[in-house]
Structure 1
Amino acid sequence: MALILVTGAASGLGHNTANALADDGHDVVVHVRDPGRLTHADDSVRWKGVVTGDLADLDEIRDVARQASGFGRFDAVIHNAGVMNRPEDATVNTIAPYLLTALMEKPARLVYLSSSMHRTGSTDLRRLTDGSASYDDSKLWVTALALAFASRWEGTSSHAVDPGWVPTRMGGRGAPDDLTAGHETQVWLATHPDPIPSSGGYWHHRQTQTPHPASQDPDFQTQLLQALESHTGVRLD
């Protein structure tokens, strides 16, 4: 049994991920922006706890980290929360995963939600903080972030996952990919007992793929971490 945090779990992929983990007997702590969106009657008994906060706000991200840390060291953290085509794309999709990771005790496993759209993202890191970042940019950066942690933290595995274009509120009802397959890789990476490469994979439906070259570039990873440290005032150990 593992203690696992899932961000953005009020609905969609995050909710399905949290429920699948709980059904497998794990202790699941969920993050939601608005607790009023937790409308399923069995949620409160299924999960170990709930932390709340808006991941578009730096102060609230810090508070989410504080709340989550109250449960102790997590075995795995799944950074699922995301937004698309909003001014806060960079903050929710990239800055929040960085800040939560930097502020919390290192888990054994980290999983970050990416997207196939990361392949058309920009490496211009000025866009990280000037309000011009696109969804594609933010997903390239979080993919690079996942792979950066993989090479920097011994004893912690870190992976990025493309869940596919699935029919969630973000993806839309007409999305062509399978909703169930959309969360299975995250669950597997967070809990599988066998070595799966130890760290640094970019995954789609339990198969590794080749991500944007910049995400694997140590120089770009360093530039990204420096930009995130400068913006948040929080240095990565």
Structure 2
Amino acid sequence: MTRIFITGSADGLGRLAARTLLDDGHEVILHARDTHRLTAVKDLVDAGAEAVAGDLSDPDQIRAVAAQVNRLTPPDAVIHNAGLYTGAAIMPVNVVAPYLLTALIAGPSRLVYLSSGMHRGGRADVTGVDWSGGRAGSYSDSKLFVTALAFAVARRRPEVLSNAVDPGWVPTRMGGPGAPDDLRLGHLTQEWLVTGDVSDTGGYWHHQRRQSPHPAAGDVDFQDRLLRALADFTGVPLT
């Protein structure tokens, strides 16, 4: 039995992963943007899940989410699932939140970061990025950054299995009803990486197959520039 915290699990792939993991006998900590959204996961809570709430576009609330998780029994794994495709909060939700939660949540030995095939169109440049969400950022950039974060964590924490996942273009609220990919495959790899017989780290995965990411994601100098920028913005270094 594994204990897993999943961000953005009130709907979409996060909720589907939570449902599957609960059905398979694992312990799950859910996350919703606010307490009102927790009503959407009442069935999962009734099935034994725990839940925390906080808006991941706000660094103070990200810290509060980490504190809520740390007050519970520590998770064995975290799936950084929450994400936005459009809007000003892309960088806070897609990059700052997984960075801060990684820095602040104690104990997990497996980490999964949701990326996207669109990360290959991202720019490997953190100069002038507005991490606060004061202006809209690029979705492709954000997914390149979070992929590089996953690889940086794998390098800096060799005792932790840290991987990035492209779930595919699946028919969720974000993906839209016409998305062509398989919905079950959209959350299978995350579940497998946190509960399966896996020893890989620092990988980029799509449907349980390791893929080649944007070259910058594995560039140590770029990873370190990204980590410095996020540490400067948040005031929290990643150790």
Question: Do Structure 1 and Structure 2 share a fold, with TM-score over 0.5?
Answer: yes
Question: 2:41, 2:236 → 1: CA distance?
Answer: 36
Rounded to whole Å, the distance in 2 between the matches of 1:40 and 1:153 is 33
Q: How has the CA–CA distance of structure 1 residues 128 and 215 changed in structure 2, closer, same or farther, with 3 Å as cutoff?
A: farther
Q: How many residues align?
A: 235
Q: Secondary structure at the match of 1:189?
A: helix
8 A Cα contact 1:90 1:138, kept in partner? yes
Residue 196 of structure 1: CA displacement? 3.6
Equivalent residues in 2 for 1:74-223, closer than 5 Å: 74-125=75-126, 126-129=128-131, 131-192=135-196, 194-197=197-200, 199-223=201-225
Distance 2:64 2:34 in 1: 14
The answer to whether the 8 Å contact 1:149/1:158 transfers is yes
Alignment of 1:224 with 2:226, yes or no, is yes
Q: 8 Å contact 2:32–2:53 — kept in the other structure?
A: yes
- Equivalent position of 2:26 in the other structure: 26
User: Post-superposition shift, 1:41?
Assistant: 5.2
5+ residue gaps in structure 1?
none
Q: Distance in 2 between matches of 1:103 and 1:39?
A: 26
Residue 73 of structure 1, CA deviation = 2.1
Shift of 1:195: 3.4
Read off the aligned partner of 1:226 and give its amino acid letter. R
Question: How far, CA to CA, are the matches of 1:87 and 1:77 in structure 2?
Answer: 25
Kindly provide the CA deviation profile for residues 91-150 of structure 1, in whole angstroms up to 9, marking residues without a partner as x.
000000000110111311000000000000112212243635211110000000001001
3-state SS in 1 of match to 2:40 = coil
Q: Distance in 2 between matches of 1:19 and 1:140?
A: 28
Cα separation, 2, equivalents of 1:4 and 1:60: 20
- Write the distance in 2 (CA, Å) between the matches of 1:64 and 1:214: 30
Contact 2:89 2:136 in 1 (8 A): no
Runs of 4+ in 1 over 4 A off after TM superposition: none
CA RMSD of aligned residues (A): 1.3
Q: Percent identity?
A: 54
Report 1:31-46 matches (<5 A).
Answer: 31-37=31-37, 38-39=39-40, 42-46=43-47
Mapped partners of 1:40, 1:105: distance in 2: 25
CA separation in 2, counterparts of 1:150 and 1:164? 23
- Check the 8 A contact 1:29/1:47 in 2, yes or no: no
Q: CA deviation digits over 1:147-203, x for unaligned, max 9?
A: 1001110211100000000111111111111111100000000000x2342x11100
- Structure 2 stretches lacking a partner, 5+ long: none
Structure 1 residue 45: Cα displacement:
1.7
Q: 1: CA distance between counterparts of 2:225 and 2:42?
A: 45
